[in-house]
A and B are shown apart, each in its own frame.
Chain A
Amino acid sequence: MTAALEASGLGKSYGAVSALGALDLSIPRGLVYGVLGPNGAGKSTLLRLALGLIRPSRGSVRLLGESEINARVLRRVGAMIEAPALYPFLTARETMRAFARYSGLNDPAREQAVLDRVGLTAAADRRAKTFSMGMRQRLALGAALLTRPELLILDEPTNGLDPAGIQEMRTLIRDLVDKEGVTIILSSHLLDEVQKVCDRVAFINRGNLVSEGKVSELVAGQGGLFLRASPMAKAMAVLGARGRVEGDGIVAEITEDAAPALIRDLVAAGVDVYEARWMTLSLERVFMSAMGSAA
């Protein structure tokens, strides 16, 4: 099966400023793929290049296997790039109608179903200019879902959403992928959310790919053992350079396999262990580490 998005030496420059270096990236289908990076890393540039909104300075991009980015392929894609793009004078229902017409759809039932799905049924006849940021985000997502896309590109989809909205968005994203087979590419600054929802991620910094892989593999085996033990001095003596004090406990930087032996050593040394908990390395720490090594 062809990749959902394939970038080959893809780059974009604005005069002397390079927004995207020469990116090689292949995003497989059927999963949630996170594109992560600090502000100005080139995430939005990559997504705009993929959608044909800007033209590459070098390299090429293939979307759903097509090298020519036109409306024929883009109608198989739903996109929400940066702030929600909405007509302020249209109501939510009219917004759906207008975008449906652009897409060549004439299916009022589908428009209503999408409004229901993004939770805007009650506000369907209110103008978009009266909407909160979260509601605008929902409406833009609804517009992106209108054509039953194979690929959904979401740039900061949880911006402006309250905690309940973020959870709904997470559920919706997983449902679209797991139940409907949609591929989702999303960029976000909320790394905790990305870790919860994404299957694979790519870290981009200064327009270049820093690292890429499955989320589970990136965070696996790189955690630490959190210990609440007494006396701490004796515990630190056993751990040596592997231990560091964090709050009221100690974090032992060891592999998960070595944890039982360490606990036995601590007990044998007369340390009372009150709590021992394996901490998975967060995606945020992986991200910071990747960005640090790339700097």
Chain B
Amino acid sequence: MIIEALRAELYKLSRNRWSTFWAFGFMPLFALGMGVVEQIVVHAYLGDIIPFASPLHDSLGGLATFSASIFQLCGIAGAAIIFGGEYRWETWRAALTRVDRAPIMAAKMLTFAIAISASLALCGVARLIVGFIDVALTGSATWPPVDAGGIVLAHLIGFAASFLQVMVTAAFVMLVCVVSRAMTAGIVATLLALVACEIASIRGNFGDDPIWLLFPNISGEAVRQAASITMGGRDGLLAHFAPLGAAALVLWFILLFAVALALFTRQDLSKE
């Protein structure tokens, strides 16, 4: 049943073109567009202030596009469309006479995971392209002091960091949408919560206490720093917390998703 629900959810998302573009397609284009403009401006007006280009570090950076709360806005909107749309269009009563509640919510989460994975991967590709433009303009390139396996591993870790962080955000959106029965609440409450987390956790960036890993942004940053080190980057203050950070993100996701699912399976849909 979950496969059938997944097929329906992916189909709906593919037909909701504008919303899907802004939620999942805009950030890669933004990363590419801003990167190209940045390269042109830097090379035209400032010259080669950094005399080497590093496309693979750029692509790893691209995978971190969604690390800041403000850049998660598109993903949050996408999650709100997926989890809050049925409330907004009052379509639960049509969908839930065909699929049970748990499979449909699981399918929605999988749909978001697939879409955001593609978006993240494209952000990485976008920054890789920008990196090669930089190479062409600079005339030289540097490569990480690790083998191909290390590069792939670093990119996988970087991807996982951002992916898990965004999935925690998506689970939070799901919870807010279920509780409030409103798509807009899912966007506004989540964005405010993320900004509040960033402000409240500034001290967590010093890496002196693992308690700060309770903040998903700090956990995500710890894993991202580990990815950078895997590719020969400089040590980060949080990198040694990477395994704990990844575990914290997974636990946050499970907790939020489970609570939202439990509430949804018991929710009276007298009026969506």
A in complex with B: yes
Q: Which of B45-53, B85-93, B139-147 makes up part of the contact surface?
A: B85-93
A44-77 contact mask (Cβ, 8 Å, vs B): 1 or 0 = 0100100111110000000000000011001101
The verdict on A271 contacting chain B, using a C-beta distance below 8 Å, is no
**Cα distance A140–B94 when bound, in Å?**
9
Chain B residue contacts of A103, Cβ below 8 A: 4, 98
Q: Decide if A89 touches B5 in the complex (CB within 8 Å).
A: no
Query: Is the CB of B99 closer than 8 A to any CB of chain A?
Result: yes
Give every chain B residue within 8 A of A247 (Cβ-Cβ). none
Would you call A74 and B92 a contact (CB within 8 A)? no
Q: Is the CB of B8 within 8 A of A101?
A: yes
Interchain CA distance A14-B268 in the complex, whole Å: 10
For A87, what are the chain B residues with a Cβ–Cβ distance below 8 Å?
12, 16, 85, 89, 91
Tally of contact residues, B, Cβ under 8 A = 30
Is A154 engaged at the interface, CB distance under 8 Å to the other chain? no
In B251-272, which residues have CB < 8 Å from any A CB? Answer: 266, 268-270
Q: Taking the nearest CB of chain A, how far is it from the CB of B140, in angstroms?
A: 48
A104: Cβ under 8 A from any B Cβ:
yes
The answer, yes or no, to whether A190 is at the interface (CB within 8 Å) is: no
Q: Assess the A101–B11 pair: CB atoms within 8 A.
A: yes
* A106 to chain B: closest residue by CB: B7
**Contact mask B70-100 → A, CB, 8 Å, 1/0?**
0000000000000001000111111111111
**CB <8 Å contact, B93 and A51:** yes
Partner of A102 from the list B15, B95, B266 (CB cut-off 8 Å) is: B95
Chain A contacts for B17, CB-based, 8 A: 89
Asked if residues A71 and B268 are in contact (CB atoms below 8 Å), the reply is no
Contact B11 A98 (CB under 8 A): yes
Q: A48-B270, A54-B270, A71-B99 are in contact. Are A98 and B12 (CB under 8 A)?
A: yes
How far apart sit A231 and B127, CA to CA, in the bound complex (Å)?
A: 99
Chain A hits for B205, CB < 8 A? none
| B201: interface (CB < 8 Å) | no
- The answer to whether B8 touches A53, judged by C-beta atoms less than 8 angstroms apart, is no
Please tell me if B1 contacts chain A, counting CB pairs below 8 Å: yes
Rounded to whole angstroms, the CA-CA distance of A75 and B7 in the bound complex is 17
| Distance (whole angstroms) from the CB of A158 to the closest CB of chain B | 19
Q: Within the assembled complex, what's the spacing in Å between the Cα atoms of A102 and B8?
A: 5
**Least CB separation from A100: chain B residue:** B8
Interface size on A, residues (CB 8 A): 36
Complex Cα–Cα for A83 and B93 (A): 10
Cβ of A40 under 8 Å from chain B: no
With CB as the reference atom, state the residue of chain B lying closest to A44. B270
The one of B94, B98, B266, B270 in contact with A71, judged by C-beta atoms closer than 8 angstroms, is: B98
Q: Is A97 an interface residue (CB 8 A)?
A: yes
Cβ of A114 to closest chain B Cβ, rounded Å: 14
The residue of chain B having its C-beta at the shortest distance from the C-beta of A127 within the complex is B15
Flag whether B19 is at the interface (Cβ < 8 A). Answer: yes
Decide yes or no whether A90 CB sits under 8 A from chain B.
yes
The answer, among A19, A53, A147, for a CB contact under 8 Å with B96, is A53
Query: Would you mind naming 28 contact pairs between A and B with Cβ atoms under 8 Å apart?
Result: A45-B270, A48-B269, A51-B93, A51-B96, A51-B97, A52-B96, A53-B93, A53-B269, A53-B270, A55-B268, A71-B1, A71-B97, A71-B98, A74-B97, A81-B93, A83-B90, A86-B89, A88-B89, A89-B16, A94-B11, A99-B98, A101-B7, A102-B4, A102-B99, A103-B98, A104-B1, A143-B94, A147-B98
Q: Residues of B at under 8 Å CB distance from A?
A: 1, 4-5, 7-8, 11-12, 15-17, 19, 85, 89-100, 103-104, 266, 268-270
Given contacts A53-B268, A102-B5, 9 further A-B contacts (CB under 8 A): A81-B93, A83-B90, A86-B94, A87-B12, A89-B15, A98-B11, A101-B4, A101-B7, A101-B11
Q: Which 5 A-B pairs have the closest CB atoms?
A: A101-B8, A85-B94, A102-B98, A54-B268, A104-B4
